[in-house]
Amino acid sequence: MLRTISSRISRRFYTTSRYETYHGGAIKTYYNPTLTGLSPSENEFREAVWEFSARVVKPKVDEIERGGSYSALMELHKEIAGMGLHGLTVPAKNLGLELGYTHHLLAMEALSYSSASLALSYGAHSNLCVNQLSRWGSEAQKSEWLPGLLDGRYLGALAMSESGAGSDVLGCMKTVAKKVDGGYLLNGNKFWITNGPKADVFIVYAKDVVEHGAKQTYTTFLVPRTTPGFTTGKPLDKFGMRGSPTCELIFTDVFLPPSSILGDSQHHGAKVLMSGLDLERLVLSGGPLGIMQAAYDTALEYVHQREQFGVRVGTIGSMQAKIADMYTKLNTARAFVYSVARAVDHHTQEAAPGYPVFQRRDCAAAILYATDKAIEVALECMQCLGGNGYINEYPAARYLADARLYAVGAGTQEVRRWLIGREVNSDFE
């Protein structure tokens, strides 16, 4: 039985101190809860996950970043399962906590504060895989896979992008599913797949073989790692998120029975894909928020410990201006992202099963804005630390490298701007 978050929470009121401490005071954060608009129960949830992040995740950051066998990441995957965090948006009847995307976002932010690499792997598992399976899977598929995905026995992933199909993922997709006797043959490659080297099950998008001149359709499949003909490439050497396992997937005449189809039926893959992208953008917005808070906290502590010209660096006018800008960017980004999450939760409760009714422009805007601000705050953190910001003994460079992932992952900033502009312009059609 999964332990619920509530069992880890001690009741308390909003903190009114200038900072919060976790893990016996070992972690100090200047997170400002008075501006978030969270309810008391949401704030209690947030504090519980932040405490877990500080106590369990933070001490293993160096081990996570070394990657290699990803043993620390896999151990923490099971610890996160013990908190019930993998099933935040999964209905109770399927062993989930049946909460909302606000809670999912809060968990992503708290984990990103300690380790953005671990949080990215968590987001790929809990949102891209588990949430899609929960929303679109058959009862048989959910019964087979959800228990293990929620309790930490299995790690999940989603396979959408390809080396030649990034921003134009549908138009340039080459991975193909051909209908044969008794099922389908899947052939092709997927690239930049988070959790690829370690995942046990994959949600895979493929284009269908159609007659010449017919409209191109797509199908979503659930593919276990042990399926014959399926292999993975070596882990990719990345600029940032170095502790998050990423690789190429290779499908060579992979036979899949009709029961492997995720969604209403064959040819509905585009609908499944597009509905997941909006929620992916929203939940992953917690990544930039967590990185931004860590960068702000690191800079603030440093400039009030270091002295130059006989005074604390943080009291110098130019440094005060940097801190003011960082504080403003962090809190405006968080307020916006949280408001979008609450709107999505509200509309999802009112919507019919399947595709929730909300404006995708807002999910795109949330991750667009949070990512831009996270990169800016990470750069300022490096500058606040001076020479120490440029050496890897301090975490400032890691904050920047990790924040940069969100400018290209889950869609590029350029595509997000195009999507928002298109959606706004549609109001005048």
Residue 158 near residue 138, CB atoms below 8 Å: no
Which of the 8 DSSP states describes residue 211? -
Please give the backbone phi and psi of residue 376, each rounded to the nearest 5 degrees, phi first: -65, -45
280 is catalytic: yes
- For residues 363 and 354, what is the distance between their CA atoms, to the nearest angstrom? 17
- Closest by CA to 350, choosing from 100, 129, 18, is 100
Sign of CA dihedral 62, 67, 71, 74: positive
CA dist 166 and 189 (Å) reads 13
Any idea what DSSP says for residue 412?
Answer: -
- Kindly report the number of other CB atoms within 10 A of residue 172's CB atom: 14
Distance of CA 287 to the CA centre of its chain: 6
Q: What's the length of the chain?
A: 429
| Dist CA 47 CA 49 (whole Å) | 5
Q: Exactly one of 44, 280, 376, 380 is catalytic; name it.
A: 280
Tell me which residues are annotated as active site. Answer: 280
